[in-house]
Structure 1
Amino acid sequence: MLILSDFDGTITSDDLTNRIWDAHLRYDWRKVLLSPAGGGQLTAIELLQRGYADVDRSALELVDELRPHAALRPGFEELLALCARRGWVFHVISHGLPFYIREFLPPGTAFSCFDAVFDGRWRVSVPEAVPLGPGDDFKIRVLDQLKAATGETATVYIGDGRLDYPAARRCDRIFAVQGSALDALCARDGVPRTPFDSFTEICAALDDGGTVDGARAPSCRGDDIRT
């Protein structure tokens, strides 16, 4: 089984890019950036490029600012341990940046995200390992690459945001943070999902007769960006 999870607002309770932009952008970025992004005038990569271009703090400075807000959602390390025991493939897919994802994820947790370099301003790009054609969705592209690389066909998506929705809909089972944009979008469109507040609930849900791609899942004991 392949289990994919968003990072900001999903693994972390707080959205860390939101934190950075709230602190360092000198304009109403929700109005300037989210409105066109929601209307399809900005892609995810364009959204992150434009927002981070106006952030003038280094990775070290930003990590120090984020540390008090970067607590992991309860049960996350339990899920990692479960995946290791059961032989499930776990991978984080994020539109965030590696300097903070790497800092706050437990060591060795696999992840894919946008690339970024800082030379007085942040320059965000798509990683070479995930080439995107016109109209391609980054998270869908990573999902397809992981399925091809691992041979896994049963898929689970864990997320909270609007930007999670396209990839989540490609998966066999969706877990959506309770009350999140992903939860609301699934409800609006009649897409089955399981709301959750902690990763412990996800384990319990899979253990309690849950199915993925028509097969019983193995036992499992033991307005923001939302990137």
Structure 2
Amino acid sequence: MLILSDFDGTITSDDLTNRIWDAHLRYDWRKVLLTPAVGGPLTAIELLRRGYADVDRPAAELLDELRPHAALRPGFEELLALCARRGWVFHVVSHGLPFYIREFLPPGTAFSCFDAVFDGRWRVSVPEAVPLGPGDDFKIRVLDQLKAATGETATVYIGDGRLDYPAARCCDRVFAVRGSALDALCAHDGVPRTPFDSFTEICAALDDGGMPDGARAPSCRGDEMRT
């Protein structure tokens, strides 16, 4: 089984990019950046590029600010141990940046995210290992690459946000943070999902059989995805 999990707001209870933007952007970024994103013109990479381009603090300073807010959601290390014991592939897939994901994940946890360099401002880019064509979704692309590399066909997605929805729609089973945007989107569109508050709940559900009977990944065609 292949298990993918979002990072911000899923593995961490707080969204760390939101924390950075709240502290350092001098405008209402939710109104300026998220409002057009809901309508479709901003992709995930465009959103992150625009937001981080206005952050003028280096990684060390940002990490100092984030540490009090970077606690992992309860049960996460329990899930890692379960995956190791059962031989399941676990991979974090995020639209966040590596400087903080690497810092706060347990050592050795595999992850894919956007790249970034700081030269007085943050410059965000798509990693060379995950090439994107027009209209491609980063998280779906990572999912497809991992399925091809591992040979795993049964897939689980764990997330909380609107930008998790396309990849979640491509997986056999979805766990959505209770009350999150992903939870609401799945409910609205009739996509089966299991709401959760802690990873301990996910461990119990997966260890008790993993996939529901007859589980199948829904269609992943780009024209059906919310972006």
Shift of 1:224: 22
Measured against aligned partners, the alpha-carbon deviations of 1:129-152 in whole angstroms (never above 9, x if no partner) come to 000000000000000000000000
Shift of 1:214: 3.4
For structure 1, which segment, 173-182 or 217-226, has the greater mean C-alpha deviation from structure 2 after superposition? Answer: 217-226
> Residues 45 and 224 from structure 1, CA distance in 2 versus in 1: closer, same or farther, beyond 3 angstroms?
farther
> Residues 218 and 134 from structure 1, CA distance in 2 versus in 1: closer, same or farther, beyond 3 angstroms?
closer
- 5+ residue gaps, structure 2: none
Contact 2:172 2:218 survives alignment (8 Å): no
Contact 2:115 2:124 survives alignment (8 Å): yes
Aligned-residue identity in percent: 93
Aligned to 1:37: 37
Q: C-alpha separation between the residues in 2 aligned to 1:12 and 1:226?
A: 24
Alignment of 1:67-78 (within 5 A): 67-78=67-78
Q: C-alpha separation between the residues in 2 aligned to 1:146 and 1:161?
A: 21
> Residues 31 and 180 from structure 1, CA distance in 2 versus in 1: closer, same or farther, beyond 3 angstroms?
same
Shift of 1:217: 15
SS at match of 2:11: coil
Q: C-alpha separation between the residues in 2 aligned to 1:60 and 1:226?
A: 35
Counterpart check, 1:47 vs 2:47: yes
With normalisation by structure 2, the TM-score equals 0.93
Shift of 1:205: 1.3
Contact 2:7 2:93 survives alignment (8 Å): yes
With normalisation by structure 1, the TM-score equals 0.93
Q: C-alpha separation between the residues in 2 aligned to 1:204 and 1:222?
A: 33
> Residues 222 and 31 from structure 1, CA distance in 2 versus in 1: closer, same or farther, beyond 3 angstroms?
closer
Instruction: Tell me which stretches of 4 or more aligned residues in structure 1 moved more than 4 Å.
Output: 215-227
Q: C-alpha separation between the residues in 1 aligned to 2:66 and 2:224?
A: 17
Measured against aligned partners, the alpha-carbon deviations of 1:70-101 in whole angstroms (never above 9, x if no partner) come to 00000000000110111000000000000000
CA RMSD in angstroms comes to 5.4
For structure 1, which segment, 111-120 or 198-207, has the greater mean C-alpha deviation from structure 2 after superposition? Answer: 198-207
